[in-house]
Structure 1
Amino acid sequence: MDSMVFFAVLGAAILHASWNALVKIGGDRFIALSVIVIFSGVISLAGIFFVDLPSINALPWLLLSVGFHTGYCLFLSKAYELADFSQIYPISRGVAPLLSALLSWLILAEIPQPVALLGAIILIGGVLMMAFDGRRSSNKMPGKAIVCALITATFTACYTLSDGAGGRATTDPISYILWLFMLNGLMMFILLWLRHRRIIFREIRKSWRPGIMGGAMQLLAYGVVIWAMKTTPIALVAALRETSVLFAMVISVWMLKERPSRLRIAASAVIMTGVLVTKSG
């Protein structure tokens, strides 16, 4: 994997874990997530005047992806209402790269080089170890939380594949990224309006600082991923992106005061091994 792509995706992983932590720290999870996505859309709206319209070839992928991202937001916010950040995050992220790799192979006939593929498998194995650790926590996850986390992972895999194909179908990936987040923000504003129309503007005013911060992190984090998938196999980018569970563990210990188990520490070592093997491939 190219070094620039490698370190850019690692940076995106840090940003992804950070904005997810903002959702968990907030009060109502749906409102907190919606405000972040809305501000991400506002930032994107300011940029679409300087880029072209999405290309015709990328438009079907763009519209399909908006639906997948909306489903992801709905189920992720619900999962965070039902269980801890350190439980939900590894499961929702751990299953996604497996599904992304399978879908990219079945739909795009894309298979990474053997060494890089081995690294991705090791990395995913470490992520799943963390997910298992969350499942066997003393604070047991309710079954509904697991279902929501798994559905979230499915939406993640679907939008990863859709955006990977959309980014490749357009001549200007920045245009695709900005239009995607602008439309995502619009969709979440509509949903927030339908569910909380009496308090929507009060909540936006109250949460505008973390909203702007989270929105900027979300836009940059996933924008980098779409850019990376234009030239790098989708399965590798999806797997490397899930190093975010390492950074999520640091956040859960540092900010949320959650103590890591031995299994989680061992999983971190496995993930780092997978990262190094993936880089060498």
Structure 2
Amino acid sequence: MPLDAFALALGSAFLHALWNLILGRERDPEAATAVALTAAVVLFAPVAAWRFDADTAVWPYIAVTSMLQLAYFAALATAYRHADVSVVYPIARGLAPVLVLLVGVTALGVGASAGQAAGVCLVGLGVVLVRGLRGGAEARAAGAAWGVAVASCIAAYTLVDKHGIEHASPVVYLELGMLPATIGYVGFLLVTEHGGGRVRAAARPLPALAGVLSFVAYALVLAALSRASAASVASVRETSVLIAAFLAAPLAGEHVGPGRLAGAGLVVAGVALIALA
């Protein structure tokens, strides 16, 4: 893997972990997510308009991925209200490629190697360690359940976007998919009780920065993919699981013990096996 591609993928991993930690430490993650989505969509709209490149076949994919993105951000924001980032994030990021692999094997007839099977086992063991075996059972169970929900959304839109991206340039495709998801998410929040006040209270620089970072992280991945294989980029990018685990204590004030760190490490190792096998 070229050094520049490695640096881009690692930078993307850091930014991805950072924007999740920013949203996870917010007092109102749902409202903060609304601010983040709005900031990102508004900022990158001129870029997408300037470099617009999409054919008519993209619209069915945009319709489906928009709904999945809406479900993803709703699940993610709710997860961070009920559980620590250091629990939700490794499960969500680690299980997503496992679910993509399982769908490929069971529904699409794609074969799986011994290395990928071993990777699934490592991810499973890592999730158990992240989830924890003792203490705080109810809270940890909620975090694990929301992590699985987020992972399911990631896996679903990944399978859709794999084909949809063939019909539009990456930034345009992302903007087109995120625009209706953002309108739906923010619109729903505004019509809830005290929704407008919640969004106004969350309209601060940090949540807006989280939205910008999410787009920049994606752009860095695209740049890395132009320089190295998808498998190698994916394996480096999943180091975001470890980065989030290490930064959760100083940035989000979470208690991250050795068991949770070890679990995050196993998740990264398992995803790397799945990607590279």
TM-score (norm 2): 0.80
- In structure 2, the partner of 1:35 is 35
Could you tell me how far apart the structure 2 residues matched to 1:8 and 1:109 are? Answer: 33
Once the two structures are overlaid, the 10-residue window that deviates more, 53-62 or 255-264, is: 255-264
User: CA separation in 2, counterparts of 1:233 and 1:19?
Assistant: 25
2:44 corresponds in structure 1 to 44
Distance 1:197 1:267, change over 3 A: closer
Per-residue deviation, 1:197: 4.4
Show the counterpart of 2:197. Answer: 199
Listed as ranges, the gaps of 5+ residues in structure 1 are: none
252-261 or 125-134, which moves further after superposition?
125-134
Does residue 178 of structure 1 match 2:178? no
CA contact (8 A) 2:91 2:147 kept: yes
> How many residues were matched structurally?
275
Contact in 1 for aligned 2:24/2:80 (Cα 8 Å): yes
Q: Indicate conservation of the 8 Å contact 1:79/1:148, yes or no.
A: yes
Tell me which amino acid in the other structure corresponds to 2:254.
E
Matched, 1:248 2:259: no
Whether 1:160 aligns to 2:154 is no
Mapped contact 1:29–1:80 kept (Cα < 8 A): yes
Query: How many angstroms does 1:277 deviate by?
Result: 6.6
Alignment partners' CA distance in 2, 1:273 and 1:17: 17
3-state SS of 1:57 partner: helix
RMSD, matched Cα: 3.6
Q: Deviation at 1:8?
A: 3.0
1:148 and 2:141 aligned: no
- Residue 129 of structure 1 is matched in structure 2 by 126
**Matched AA of 2:22:** L
Distance of 2:77 and 2:149 partners within structure 1: 12
Q: How does 1:70-81 map to 2 (within 5 A)?
A: 70-81=70-81
Q: Percent identity?
A: 24
Aligned to 1:94: 94
TM-score normalised according to structure 1 size:
0.79
Cα-to-partner distance string for 1:18-47 (whole Å, 9 max, x where unaligned):
111111111112111121112111112232
Where does residue 10 of structure 2 map in the other structure? 10
Deviation at 1:154, TM superposition (A): 0.5
Alpha-carbon offset, residue 177 of structure 1:
2.1
Mark the CA change 1:183 to 1:21 in structure 2 (over 3 Å): closer, same or farther: same
Partner Cα distance (1:63, 1:277) in 2:
32
Higher mean C-alpha deviation, range 206-215 or range 64-73:
206-215
CA distance in 2, matches of 1:77, 1:199: 17
Instruction: Please tell me whether residue 20 in structure 1 is matched to residue 16 in structure 2.
Output: no
> CA separation in 2, counterparts of 1:7 and 1:188?
33
Q: Which residue identity is paired with 2:217? A: A
Aligned mates of 1:20, 1:279 — CA distance in 2:
23
**2-structure distance, mates of 1:244, 1:261:** 18
**Residue 199 of structure 1: SS of its match in structure 2?**
helix
Output the CA distance in 2 between the equivalents of 1:190 and 1:235. 37
**Which residue is equivalent to 1:188?**
185
